[in-house]
């Protein structure tokens, strides 16, 4: 304690400024101290005692802090009760231990922050802050400072206490999280208070508390997630959610947090599913926390998938069954259930729920299936499970008729088309190619195969009709007229925004002050159809182009329908059948929401031959207008797509005038747009299509007709839902370069005894051109051998003719036979009439494909052979193989067989690189020689996939004898190619398939160790081992000759 009372009120002025200041400071000091004592005197005794005690302990750390404390005590004592005063002092002392200035500031700001805090809470506050001090002084002081604000926003003493308690609890484990918690508190408590039922708030806090007790820091994450989780729920559901989450806390904070989030989603969209879902989760939880968490995390996607269904009520009925199914599977195998759950969204787009259940039952009942196989089954990875899904039930799968329909459409139109299912899981497909028609993966409308096929036929005929009757025509005279007319009809602003379409340049007419659409010619200047513009350009002119698109779709279908009927008498039967069926299935017009009704009417009039009676009854006026429009534009035999566009414009205006406000249409627009962006964002990493990109199966057959018109349907690459859905984070796919084409192939998994669909991706790549010198050097080196090879092979050419005797007819007499004949005649014996000789052609009809393993194992060098002094020491195997190819090419050129040289390497199943050094129909040019020179080694050997691709290419050749010669230095290997046995089995399967297609495989290898395996794969006479690698080049032509004679 300082005692310096003498100069307290000395008014003597000092001589200099500094002195002045010093004296002032001291004066203040003294004053404060005086005030201190005075102030102290005013306090009740208890307070004083505590204060003195506290200041003593503070002084132990810092005198100044202690002084500050004393200064603040009187004011603080107004606010704080004695024990609080002590705590406050203690807090400050602790602060001082790390940061004196902070402590001084702390005391300096007084205890006013605590004013608003109810008494009961104060102890908690101190506890909290003390704990937070372990992190940093500033954290604690900030918390302290934020108290008033907190008090204000949480207007409820009880709640405040609870919040603080939870924060204190959390702070036991993590100061940071407790701060986060407090920061979020206002927002969260507000959202909880929205519920009229108080127990929600209480529940929320109880939950937070339980989280804090159980799981520490994660409590603040859960807390922050609360508002979103309970948003949009009613009180009862909110409570359910909270209780459930609490229950799952037993399984860990992480699990519970996900449950909170996903559960909220479910309750919002499909509350009736909640119970089932929770049950399911508990069953899954039996299999371990990892499964549980994985499950919960897949739930949002599942929900989204369901919500994307246009027919919500349908989705609502289907989902419980899916959950029930999953439960059943989950009792047996958690991972399988997860796979099933994940694929359910995708699957249900293509098959009915009954089929799905059937398929699942089958998967379950197959007892000999072991866990890994079962999981693959339910993930729909294998060919077997895929087939089981599609052929199991009723309905006609597209696969059965795909080729047929393709030919059909090609026949009708004369154009090459591809038919793709709406969800594609291909076995071999090009990525990013051609003109395709999309048809539903299965049709089950009639439950009769014949009739279902006729629906397919009608859909295909419609698609053909679009091609034949010019839906996609570009830049025609009529289109231009339509464009101009429609451009003129709509806002100049729209025209402005569509500047992009005026490719020919235009004069800005708007300066003249007139509206642009005062005359068609002026409009023509401002916006013109680009030279290759089509119907899509015109549709973009409409303000609500999505709406226009839908109208256009239906109208165009109507036009095509009419043209088809006129052109193809026979098809009328099928069209009528479908029309009848559709008519019978229409909903009642009054059951439809007001904004859907116009489309239904349009559909009926355009495609169903006229409005149904109830439609006509309720919407007489609209029906009659629509009928007039249709009659005017679409009935003429020469109606073109431009006419449809004009009709679209009329109908568009009509719809705008009859719907209550533009709101309904806007609603439609924004809904669609929202769904677009939502889905895009959330499904960025998935290969599932969002609703806008694809129109999946509907119970409403009408949608089948509109698949071609989906807004984002243009230029979409084919999807690989099967393979990619599985590969979450496996070997990453390398991007394709320009001009490269990739193909998908199955792979055989011996454990599953089934194929994995579309598992491997083979990329046809260009060979880097090397030096020509390699080939030249080789030829130089093997000069002698080459000339003898040439000679030998030329002898093998088909110009050879042999003489055959004893024929019934021929060019020449066989003298011996004639003599015999005469003698026999004289002797009256049996006379043979086979007196002639013929010359028969010996034909050669061979195509051969060489497949060279280019993996890094070929980089191995072979030592110098003592008997071959002209070879360099230490040549790589790949070099030797290349030499062999050069010699082989010489031989093949000499004999004239059709041949192709290919190499392959692989880097994981999605990056199998297939190099075409020489294609079948290429000539052996300089370019080819350079390519041979450029062959190099890298990566691994995924032999199965390479063989499959080589087989595919070879089958396209028409020769009678087709050979696939594999040049390998050893065993197949790749990093995700299983163990050695797996790789071998897959290779064997590929070879078997090749043989089934009429190709003879043959293996030439230098690996002596692999004899047994080779015999296994290729058969006794299907391989040859070259012991001395260096002799490979010279032996190769000899082997070939033996094979093909």
418 or 976, CB closer to other proteins? Answer: 418
290 or 818, CB closer to other proteins? Answer: 818
Report whether 1035 contacts 1026 (CB < 8 A): yes
Tokens of 173: 């484990």
**Which helix (H) or strand (E) covers residue 965, if one does?**
strand 961-968
Report whether 435 contacts 417 (CB < 8 A): yes
For residue 703, the minimal CB distance to other proteins (Å) is 24
DSSP string, 509-526: GGGGSS-GGGSHHHHHHH
Tokens of 139: 């954290």
Residue at token pair 């549709």: 539
Q: Which residues contact 66 (CB under 8 A, 6 or more apart)?
A: 55, 56, 58, 59
Report whether 548 contacts 670 (CB < 8 A): no
For residue 575, the minimal CB distance to other proteins (Å) is 10
Query: Across-strand partners of 841?
Result: 801
For residue 732, the minimal CB distance to other proteins (Å) is 38
44 or 570, CB closer to other proteins? Answer: 570
118 or 414, CB closer to other proteins? Answer: 414
Question: CA angle 206-208-214, nearest 5°?
Answer: 100
CA distances from 652 to 47, 545, 558, 626, 750 (A): 83, 10, 16, 11, 59
414 or 829, CB closer to other proteins? Answer: 414
Q: Where are the beta strands (DSSP E) in 836-920?
A: 836-841, 846-853, 861-862, 875-876, 898-906, 912-918
For residue 386, the minimal CB distance to other proteins (Å) is 21
For residue 568, the minimal CB distance to other proteins (Å) is 5
For residue 959, the minimal CB distance to other proteins (Å) is 11
Q: For residues 324 and 302, give the distance between their C-alpha atoms in angstroms, rounded to a whole number.
A: 14
Q: For residues 1027 and 1006, give the distance between their C-alpha atoms in angstroms, rounded to a whole number.
A: 6
DSSP 3-state assignment of 421? Answer: strand
For residue 996, the minimal CB distance to other proteins (Å) is 18
DSSP string, 481-509: HHHHHHHHHS-HHHHHHGGGG-TT----G
Burial (CB < 10 A; 0-12, 13-18, 19+), residue 268, is: middle
For residue 453, the minimal CB distance to other proteins (Å) is 9
408 or 619, CB closer to other proteins? Answer: 408
Radius of gyration of the chain (CA): 42
Residue numbers of the site for other proteins (CB under 8 A)? 403-408, 410-414, 416, 457, 461, 568-571, 573-574, 798, 810-811, 838, 841, 843
For residue 714, the minimal CB distance to other proteins (Å) is 25
Report whether 178 contacts 129 (CB < 8 A): no
Burial (CB < 10 A; 0-12, 13-18, 19+), residue 587, is: exposed
- Identify which of 1042, 959, 945 has the alpha carbon closest to the alpha carbon of residue 1002: 1042
For residue 822, the minimal CB distance to other proteins (Å) is 9
CA distances from 479 to 531, 637, 641, 647 (A): 10, 17, 8, 13
Report whether 768 contacts 913 (CB < 8 A): no
DSSP 3-state assignment of 1024? Answer: strand
303 or 575, CB closer to other proteins? Answer: 575
609 or 896, CB closer to other proteins? Answer: 896
Distance between alpha carbon 924 and the CA centroid of its chain, in Å?
43
For residue 831, the minimal CB distance to other proteins (Å) is 10
Residue at token pair 């101009």: 484
Q: For residues 292 and 313, give the distance between their C-alpha atoms in angstroms, rounded to a whole number.
A: 28
For residue 401, the minimal CB distance to other proteins (Å) is 9
Number of Cβ within a 10 Å radius of residue 396: 24
Which DSSP letter does residue 941 get? B
For residue 563, the minimal CB distance to other proteins (Å) is 13
371 or 414, CB closer to other proteins? Answer: 414
CA distances from 488 to 521, 526, 538 (A): 10, 10, 12
- Identify which of 340, 439, 361, 356 has the alpha carbon closest to the alpha carbon of residue 393: 356
For residue 565, the minimal CB distance to other proteins (Å) is 11
Per-residue burial over 108-130, b = 16 or more CB atoms within 10 Å of its CB, e = otherwise: eebbebbeebeeebbbbbbbbbb
Number of Cβ within a 10 Å radius of residue 993: 18
Query: Across-strand partners of 913?
Result: 763, 905
For residue 454, the minimal CB distance to other proteins (Å) is 10
Residue at token pair 């959330």: 682
Q: For residues 481 and 533, give the distance between their C-alpha atoms in angstroms, rounded to a whole number.
A: 12
For residue 414, the minimal CB distance to other proteins (Å) is 4
For residue 961, the minimal CB distance to other proteins (Å) is 15
- Identify which of 849, 888, 857 has the alpha carbon closest to the alpha carbon of residue 1032: 888
For residue 798, the minimal CB distance to other proteins (Å) is 8
Q: For residues 371 and 333, give the distance between their C-alpha atoms in angstroms, rounded to a whole number.
A: 8
């Amino acid at each position: 304690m300082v005692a310096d009372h003498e100069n307290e009120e000395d008014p003597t002025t000092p001589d200099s400024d500094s002195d002045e200041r010093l004296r002032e400071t001291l004066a203040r000091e003294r004053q404060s101290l005086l005030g201190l004592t005075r102030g102290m005197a005013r306090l009740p005794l208890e307070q004083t005692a505590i204060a003195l005690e506290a200041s003593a302990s503070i002084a132990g750390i810092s005198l100044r802090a202690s002084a500050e404390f004393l200064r603040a005590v009187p004011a603080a004592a107004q606010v704080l009760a004695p024990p609080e005063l002590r705590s406050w002092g203690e807090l400050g002392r602790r602060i001082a231990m790390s940061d004196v200035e902070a402590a001084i500031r702390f005391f300096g700001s007084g205890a006013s922050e605590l004013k608003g805090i109810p008494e009961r809470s104060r102890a908690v506050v101190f506890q909290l802050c003390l704990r937070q001090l372990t992190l940093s002084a500033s954290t604690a002081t900030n918390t302290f400072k934020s108290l008033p604000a907190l008090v204000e926003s949480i207007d409820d003493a009880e709640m405040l206490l609870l919040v603080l308690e939870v924060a204190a609890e959390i702070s036991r484990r993590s100061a940071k999280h407790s701060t986060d918690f407090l920061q979020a508190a206002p927002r969260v408590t507000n959202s909880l208070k929205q519920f009229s039922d108080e127990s929600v708030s209480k529940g929320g806090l109880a939950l937070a508390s339980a989280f804090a007790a159980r799981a520490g820091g994660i409590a603040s994450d859960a807390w922050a997630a609360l508002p979103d989780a309970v948003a949009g729920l009613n009180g009862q559901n909110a409570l359910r959610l909270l209780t459930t989450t609490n229950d799952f806390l037993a399984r860990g904070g992480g699990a519970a947090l996900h449950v909170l989030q996903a559960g909220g989603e479910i309750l919002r969209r499909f509350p009736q599913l909640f119970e089932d879902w929770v049950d399911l989760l508990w069953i899954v939880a039996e299999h371990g926390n990892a499964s549980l968490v994985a499950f919960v995390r897949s739930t949002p996607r599942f929900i989204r998938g369901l919500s994307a269904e246009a027919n919500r009520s349908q989705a609502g009925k289907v989902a419980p069954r899916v959950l029930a199914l999953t439960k059943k599977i989950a009792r047996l195998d958690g991972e399988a259930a997860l796979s099933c759950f994940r694929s359910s969204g995708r699957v249900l787009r293509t098959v009915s729920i009954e089929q799905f259940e059937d398929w699942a039952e089958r998967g379950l009942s197959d007892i000999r299936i072991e866990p890994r196989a079962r999981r693959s089954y339910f993930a729909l990875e294998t060919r077997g499970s895929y087939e089981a899904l599609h052929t199991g039930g009723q309905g006609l799968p597209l696969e059965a008729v795909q080729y047929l329909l393709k030919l059909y459409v090609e026949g009708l139109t004369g154009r090459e088309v591809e038919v793709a299912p709406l969800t594609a899981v291909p076995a071999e497909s090009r990525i990013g190619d051609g003109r395709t028609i999309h048809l539903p993966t299965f049709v089950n409308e009639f439950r009769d195969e014949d009739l279902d096929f006729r629906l397919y036929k009608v859909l295909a005929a419609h698609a053909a009709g679009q091609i034949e009757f010019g839906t996609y025509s570009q830049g025609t005279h009529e289109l231009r007229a339509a464009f101009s007319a429609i451009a003129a009809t709509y806002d100049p602003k729209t025209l402005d925004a569509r500047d992009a379409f005026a490719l020919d340049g235009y004069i800005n007419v708007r300066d003249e002050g007139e509206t642009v659409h005062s005359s068609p010619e002026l409009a023509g200047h401002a916006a013109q159809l680009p030279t290759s513009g089509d119907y899509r350009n015109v549709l973009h002119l409409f303000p609500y182009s999505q709406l226009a698109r839908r109208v256009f779709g239906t109208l165009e279908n109507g036009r095509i329908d009419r043209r088809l009927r006129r052109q193809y008498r026979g098809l009328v039967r099928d069209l009528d059948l479908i029309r009848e069926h559709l008519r019978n299935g229409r909903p009642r017009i009054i059951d439809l929401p007001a904004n859907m009704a116009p489309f239904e009417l349009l559909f009926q009039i355009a495609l169903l031959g006229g409005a149904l009676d109830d439609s006509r009854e309720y919407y007489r006026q609209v029906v009659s207008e629509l009928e007039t429009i249709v009659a005017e534009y679409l009935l003429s035999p020469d109606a073109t797509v431009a006419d449809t566009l004009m009709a679209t414009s009329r109908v568009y205006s009509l719809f705008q005038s009859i719907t209550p406000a533009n709101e309904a249409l806007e609603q439609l627009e924004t809904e669609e747009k929202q769904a677009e962006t939502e889905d895009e964002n959330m499904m960025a990493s998935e290969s599932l299509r969002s609703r806008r990109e694809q129109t999946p199966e509907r119970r409403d057959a009408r949608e089948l007709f509109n698949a071609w018109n989906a807004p984002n349907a243009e230029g979409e690459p084919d999807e690989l839902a099967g393979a990619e859905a599985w590969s979450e984070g496996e070997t990453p796919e390398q991007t394709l370069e320009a001009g490269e084409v990739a193909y998908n192939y199955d792979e055989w998994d011996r454990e599953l005894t089934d194929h994995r669909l579309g598992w491997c991706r083979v990329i046809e790549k260009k060979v880097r051109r090397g030096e020509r010198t390699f080939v030249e050097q080789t030829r130089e080196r093997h000069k002698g051998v080459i000339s003898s090879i040439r000679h030998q092979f030329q002898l093998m050419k088909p110009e050879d003719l042999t003489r055959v005797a004893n024929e019934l007819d021929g060019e020449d007499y066989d003298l011996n036979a004639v003599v015999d004949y005469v003698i026999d005649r004289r002797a009256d014996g049996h006379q043979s009439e086979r007196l002639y000789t013929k010359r028969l052609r010996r034909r050669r009809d061979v195509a051969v494909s060489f497949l060279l393993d280019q993996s890094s194992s070929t980089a191995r060098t072979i030592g110098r052979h003592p008997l071959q002094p002209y070879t360099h020491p230490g040549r790589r195997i790949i070099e030797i193989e290349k030499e062999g190819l050069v010699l082989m090419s010489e031989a093949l050129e000499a004999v004239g067989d059709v041949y192709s040289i290919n190499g392959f390497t692989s880097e994981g199943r999605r990056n199998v690189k297939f190099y075409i050094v020489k294609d079948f129909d290429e000539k052996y040019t300089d370019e080819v020689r350079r390519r041979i020179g450029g062959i190099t080694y890298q990566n691994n050997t995924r032999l199965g996939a390479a063989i499959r691709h080589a087989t595919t290419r070879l089958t396209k050749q028409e020769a009678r004898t087709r050979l696939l010669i594999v040049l390998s230095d050893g065993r197949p290997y790749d990093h995700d190619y299983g163990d050695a046995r797996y790789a071998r089995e897959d290779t064997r399967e590929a070879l078997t398939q090749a043989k089934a297609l009429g190709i003879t495989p043959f293996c030439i290898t230098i690996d002596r160790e692999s004899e047994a395996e080779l015999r296994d794969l290729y058969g006794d006479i299907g391989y040859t081992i070259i012991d001395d690698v260096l002799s490979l080049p010279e032996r190769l032509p000899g082997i070939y000759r033996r094979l093909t004679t």
